[in-house]
Structure 1
Amino acid sequence: MCATPTVEKSAPELVQPAGPTPGGTLPLSSIDKTAAVRVPVVLVQVFPRAASDVGGGQQDAAVAAMRDGFARALVPYYPVAGRIADVSPGDGEPVVDCTGQGVWFVEAAASCTLADVNYLERPLLIPKKDLLPKEELEDLIIMAQVTKFTCGGLAVGICFSHMVFDGQGAAQFLKAAGEMARGLPAPSVAPVWDRDAIPGPPRPPKLPRGGPPPPCTAFSFVTQAADISPESLARIKDAFRAATGQACSTFDAATAVLFKCRALAAGLPDGAEVRLAFAACTRRLLRGVLPSVDGYYGNCVYLAVAARTSRAIREAPLEEVIRLTRAAKEAVAARFADWMRGGGAMEDHYSVALDYGTVTVSDWSRVGFSEVDYGFGEPGYVFSLNDHVRVVPSAIYLRPPAPKRGVRLMLRCVEEPHAAAFADELAKFA
């Protein structure tokens, strides 16, 4: 075990496109500009066996290839090398200015092995700021930091603008950077911009970048992690099939556990409304709207919401909570089509009450962050670092570190008075 680990960073480098790229400005879509996506997203990819021969030269070569992969990927993905700007300063209507300035890339070296810091499992034994290029994204679209560990392992910290990418879109770009780092002549999936093809009914509110709309309460959420085992997921699925004659997904089962456990632990009054909100992918619903759905890397999400009283969720069997989740998913197609036709105000479709009664869910287990290969294999573990989100309880679903299976929940769902009870309820499904 090493002494208190330290991380030394090189000066930030702007990695520019490896070839000429177009200039000018590009519009964002009406979905990109919703208040729900005006926050940066932060994640870390852990590569325990990136360079099993501890020699620094091997690590340095891997990092150099990765940097080159980013530069080459920025040619077809040239908007990502630009900056987010306003059409007119202060009018709140963002666009992407294709300046070609590049993306931030930072190289860092830790004084320890990944084992010394428990492979970056929570609670983190290295400060968050040491794993990321800087604290604020500002007008940048993506930043990366690669941290070398003395065991030969690497950690890649990524911060990206949710106004330009959704999770699947960001993973698509990172996969392209990995493919180019491995020597492919072009990305296997050609990028598609076409944001202006998505209609804009109704006009989104003009809000400053960098935060949610006021007013809202800032909570002191406790960061927690919990695993739902494959055995628990199988039991829940079997019970649902026995009760309904239907199959349910892993997402349905995990979400029912989360929603019920939080209702049991959160201490809300019987009659208080509790809400489950999750981002449903709408790529399939945009076929025929976008010239090509394949390769589109903008936001393709719609907010699905389910609500009941606190008492109803506490007392409901999991099968009933699963039905509630499935009903919210099944309503997405009709509600999204209504929004596309201009039905209802923006806040009727892309917002949810920002209070302690709401929990928001994002499923990262299948968007592609775990399949990125920069030339040293796929990550053993990917986790979120969105500790800056303080206005709404949130949960992100991840793949647990190998060889574990099941679903890992990365949680900022409750404040300290409810954290122990929440952990105890979730532990019943570990």
Structure 2
Amino acid sequence: MVAALVNLIQVFPPSSLSAARDDQGAAVAAMRNGFARALVPYYPVAGRVAPSGLVVDCTGEGIWFVDAAARCALADVDDLDSCPLLIPAELLLPLPPAGEKLDGFILMVQATRFTCGGYAVGITFSHAVFDGQSAAQFLRTVGELARGFPGPSVVPVWDRDAFPDPPTSPPPQHLTEFKFVTQVADISAESIARVKDEFKSSTGEGCSTFDAVTAVVFKCRAQALAEAFPDDAEVGVGFAAGTRHLLRGVLPAVDGYYGSCVYLACFTRTSRAVREAALAELVGAVRVAKDAVAPRFVDWMRGGVGHYTVPLDYSTVILSDWSRLGFDEVDYGLGVPGYVFPFDDQANFVGMLYYVRPPAPRRGGIRVVLRCVEEQHAAVFAAELAKFA
């Protein structure tokens, strides 16, 4: 069994670097030392995921770290801010050592220096061990130790044995491989504010940026897929909700816990209902799905059937909000990243999208990285999303 791997790329422009450190060629050495030091308190990360995918063998083999160099400046590849990328993302991500497979690796890193002095740091981590929040926590610790901190500001918590055994998961679904295309869309702060105002006007309540953006993306995708599904076909959105706050009293300590700790929520509507619904109505549907997470998760932990069976087909899109996880707050001594984005071009069995912060200095709003429609629907999807740019 191969654990699901997540890829991300952090882009550090040359303006964020310390010139003195860069001249000494010590930036990557300090980063590497930060990872080495972090593996002491985070000792399981230096191990391997067992073939079952359910156990970490604390072998102490360490992580795989690659020091690489590009023959161009970041500006030559549009600061890695174009879609498609002007350089193959595979060149920016770490590959396992010769003769070894990805099976079992918990974390791999590649630091690529560009001729301008900027860097791209490619991270591959195992979702069986980390979720986004805990991976970001680990990388922030690496940054602290790379910058000379005596220890992590957040003490890591493992304590996997404190979890009760959850009920058996539903049997795997038959999977169909799709030819998803990668797209990027920026949802402006003004559009988000407008959707929030519409919801407040109709309900008297406030809503989050997540609620507003999810309503926009759900409606735009339904518009793009109008010809792909009959009016009465169910289309849905699934999203990973953090559940650490629900583990107080289960774990000895929740702060610092760095395991994968998310619960998949989902809501569906008919294709016609989504296309014709006001955005405020869809915001309400997102909020209802979020409110259902806590009781369903608690029921599931107690052995109930509170989990969702999410159809993994073209009707469904799974989203992940990276805009507040902290990947863009990691400072290895290079300053904070100007841009962080996922790379998942191998995820072709269910539509995926990620919310990230737009590249500096164009802060404000939310950037959505999408792989959730095939080529014949991509142009309409882009046109619908552009209405909210």
TM-score bucket (shorter structure): over 0.9
In structure 1, how many angstroms separate the alpha carbons of the residues matched to 2:201 and 2:102? Answer: 49
- Post-superposition Cα deviations, 1:72-108, rounded to whole Å, max 9, x if no partner, equal 000000000001114xxxxx36311111111000011
From the superposition, tell whether residues 56 and 180 of structure 1 become closer, same or farther in structure 2 (CA, over 3 Å): closer
Indicate the SS of the match to 2:61.
Answer: coil
What is the RMSD of the two structures over their aligned residues, measured on CA atoms? 1.8
- Alignment partner, residue 17 of structure 2: 51
Indicate the SS of the match to 1:94.
Answer: coil
Give the TM-score normalised by structure 1. 0.85
Residues 196 and 208, structure 2, Cα contact 8 Å, conserved in 1: yes
- Post-superposition Cα deviations, 1:211-242, rounded to whole Å, max 9, x if no partner, equal xx452001000000000001101111111111
In structure 2, how many angstroms separate the alpha carbons of the residues matched to 1:159 and 1:302? Answer: 21
**1:352 is aligned with what amino acid?**
V
- Alignment partner, residue 46 of structure 2: 81
- Alignment partner, residue 61 of structure 2: 101
Residues 113 and 150, structure 1, Cα contact 8 Å, conserved in 2: yes
**2:178 is aligned with what amino acid?**
F
Indicate the SS of the match to 1:298.
Answer: coil
* Cα drift, residue 201 of structure 1: 2.3
Partner of residue 170 from structure 1, selected from 131, 135, 152: 135
In structure 1, how many angstroms separate the alpha carbons of the residues matched to 2:169 and 2:187? Answer: 38
In structure 1, how many angstroms separate the alpha carbons of the residues matched to 2:198 and 2:88? Answer: 42
- Alignment partner, residue 240 of structure 2: 279
- Post-superposition Cα deviations, 1:280-336, rounded to whole Å, max 9, x if no partner, equal 111111111111100100111111110110000000000000000000000111111
In structure 2, how many angstroms separate the alpha carbons of the residues matched to 1:157 and 1:285? Answer: 32
Q: Does 1:224 align with 2:183?
A: yes
Partner of residue 295 from structure 1, selected from 256, 266, 285: 256
In structure 2, how many angstroms separate the alpha carbons of the residues matched to 1:46 and 1:99? Answer: 31
- Post-superposition Cα deviations, 1:8-37, rounded to whole Å, max 9, x if no partner, equal xxxxxxxxxxxxxxxxxxxxxxxxxxx9x9
- Alignment partner, residue 316 of structure 1: 277
Partner of residue 140 from structure 1, selected from 101, 105, 108: 105
Residues 3 and 103, structure 2, Cα contact 8 Å, conserved in 1: no
Matches within 5 A, 1:411-426: 411-426=370-385
Partner of residue 256 from structure 1, selected from 202, 215, 232: 215
- Post-superposition Cα deviations, 1:160-207, rounded to whole Å, max 9, x if no partner, equal 00000000000011011111100111100111111121212213479x
Residues 137 and 143, structure 1, Cα contact 8 Å, conserved in 2: no
Matches within 5 A, 1:327-338: 327-338=288-299
Percent identity of paired positions between Structure 1 and Structure 2: 65
Could you tell me which runs of 5 or more consecutive residues in structure 1 were left unpaired when the two chains were aligned: 1-34, 87-91, 207-212
Q: Does 1:130 align with 2:130?
A: no
Residues 226 and 427, structure 1, Cα contact 8 Å, conserved in 2: yes
In structure 1, how many angstroms separate the alpha carbons of the residues matched to 2:349 and 2:238? Answer: 14
- Alignment partner, residue 117 of structure 1: 77
From the superposition, tell whether residues 194 and 350 of structure 1 become closer, same or farther in structure 2 (CA, over 3 Å): farther
In structure 2, how many angstroms separate the alpha carbons of the residues matched to 1:306 and 1:159? Answer: 30
In structure 2, how many angstroms separate the alpha carbons of the residues matched to 1:157 and 1:351? Answer: 33
In structure 2, how many angstroms separate the alpha carbons of the residues matched to 1:51 and 1:198? Answer: 42
Q: Does 1:395 align with 2:356?
A: no
Between the two proteins, the alignment pairs up a number of residues equal to 380
* Cα drift, residue 350 of structure 1: 5.3
Q: Does 1:159 align with 2:120?
A: no
Could you tell me which runs of 5 or more consecutive residues in structure 2 were left unpaired when the two chains were aligned: none
From the superposition, tell whether residues 141 and 205 of structure 1 become closer, same or farther in structure 2 (CA, over 3 Å): farther
Give the TM-score normalised by structure 2. 0.94
Matches within 5 A, 1:190-269: 190-204=155-169, 213=172, 215-266=174-225, 267=227, 268-269=229-230
From the superposition, tell whether residues 304 and 55 of structure 1 become closer, same or farther in structure 2 (CA, over 3 Å): closer
**Runs of 4 or more consecutive aligned structure 1 residues displaced over 6 Å after TM superposition:** none
In structure 1, how many angstroms separate the alpha carbons of the residues matched to 2:8 and 2:65? Answer: 15
Residues 216 and 391, structure 1, Cα contact 8 Å, conserved in 2: yes
* Cα drift, residue 38 of structure 1: 4.1
In structure 1, how many angstroms separate the alpha carbons of the residues matched to 2:18 and 2:105? Answer: 34
In structure 2, how many angstroms separate the alpha carbons of the residues matched to 1:377 and 1:109? Answer: 19
Indicate the SS of the match to 1:349.
Answer: coil
In structure 1, how many angstroms separate the alpha carbons of the residues matched to 2:253 and 2:187? Answer: 37
Partner of residue 359 from structure 1, selected from 295, 317, 329: 317
In structure 1, how many angstroms separate the alpha carbons of the residues matched to 2:141 and 2:4? Answer: 23
From the superposition, tell whether residues 315 and 48 of structure 1 become closer, same or farther in structure 2 (CA, over 3 Å): same
- Alignment partner, residue 372 of structure 1: 330
Residues 114 and 149, structure 1, Cα contact 8 Å, conserved in 2: yes
In structure 1, how many angstroms separate the alpha carbons of the residues matched to 2:289 and 2:63? Answer: 38
In structure 1, how many angstroms separate the alpha carbons of the residues matched to 2:54 and 2:18? Answer: 44
Partner of residue 71 from structure 1, selected from 36, 40, 43: 36
- Alignment partner, residue 184 of structure 1: 149
**1:113 is aligned with what amino acid?**
A
